[in-house]
Amino acid sequence: MSPPLSATSRETSAPVLTEARPASLPRWAGAVVLSPLGARYLGLDDESFAWFHGTGMPFAAVGALAYLSALLSLGHWGLRVMRSQKHPYEPWLWDHSWRRELYDQRLTQLLVSWPVSLILLAILAVVHWLLYSQAFSRGHVLPGAMLGLVLLAFDVIIFTRVLGPTVRATLALLRSGRMRLHLPGVPLELGSQCQVHLEARPSLAHLSNVKVELRCIREWAETTGSGDSQCTQSVIHIAHSHAYTVDAAALREGKALALPLELSEGGPEHSTALHAARSCHWELKLSSEVSGADLDITFVLPVYYTGGGNPARAS
């Protein structure tokens, strides 16, 4: 593991160790930005793509958007690196784009799961059509029926494991909207007590209580064995966990629900470090046992060790 960053608190002038690192260079963005140079090096020019004539506009638009996204990604990465050099003892300013208002991640997850689900459905439709057309066109009725049973079992697995959760998550998002968590400030300091406020619109009329679980999770890759028997596996360690239940009367009335948080005492090893060799993050999991309450969300919190100084607050 690479040595941690060493920094100094403004007030105490004591060394503050943190494993936080800026995110690594986005390789995809570098590859996109350097692709024109690579094409020119390989001797490719406009004449080499003459077969695109007539349909080149859509490809050019997609390429331009990809190139612009790559430039923005590289610029964002460079800005974080400069901030980490200017404020090495305040990782909450560059470790992540923290805000005092956090949104649940269901919409982001759906933007990934829906394309995957649609691609799987398209592949299944093509496979069904090819196999059935070949089987029944040649008069193989019994083998075609047996093949249909096998594909049906496969379809059930796809629909229950992939499409079903995606549809349920979409319906839950449409019914309850995106939930927001308001923080008193950024960062939240280890060893402190504070209140965060959960806001749900529209109100959750059927929600009786909220199960709150605050956890500190550390993750790292561990390699065992050697030679052909060498194996690398991900290790997840829960360094801290605290759970309790609160009455959800405020959410039923359409108001923000206050959730008290008691952040345990801890050193730099319990500070948020999203891109370290041994990453650490704090998460707040909110759920309910009531059927149809549409509450099962997790927020990642900006919890940092400040070394006793007055931390600069993120906007």
Q: Is residue 197 within 8 Å of 256, Cβ to Cβ?
A: yes
- The Cα–Cα gap between 282 and 217 comes to 6
Beta bridge partners of 236: 219
pLDDT of amino acid 8: 35
pLDDT of amino acid 35: 78
Q: Which two tokens stand for residue 271?
A: 């500070």
- Judged on CB neighbours under 10 Å (0-12, 13-18, 19+), 306 is buried
User: What's the helix, strand, coil split of the chain in %, to 5?
Assistant: 45, 25, 30
Percent of the chain with pLDDT over 70: 77
> Closest Cα to residue 194, out of 214, 216, 209, 224?
214
Place of tokens 């993120």: 314
3-state secondary structure (DSSP) of residue 249: helix
pTM: 0.72
Which range among 100-104, 185-189, 285-289 shows the weakest confidence by mean pLDDT? 285-289
Q: How confident is the model at residue 280 (pLDDT cuts 50, 70, 90)?
A: very high
Judged against a pLDDT cut of 80, whether residue 70 lies above it is answered with yes
Q: Is residue 305 within 8 Å of 251, Cβ to Cβ?
A: no
What string of H, E and C letters represents the secondary structure of 127-176? HHHHHHHHHHHCCCHHHHHHHHHHHHHHHHHHHHHHHHHHHHHHHHHHHH
Q: Is residue 241 within 8 Å of 214, Cβ to Cβ?
A: yes
Judged against a pLDDT cut of 90, whether residue 216 lies above it is answered with yes
State which amino acid sits at residue 255: K
Phi, psi of 190 (to 5 degrees): -60, 140
Place of tokens 């057309």: 133
Beta-carbon count within 10 A of 55 CB: 9
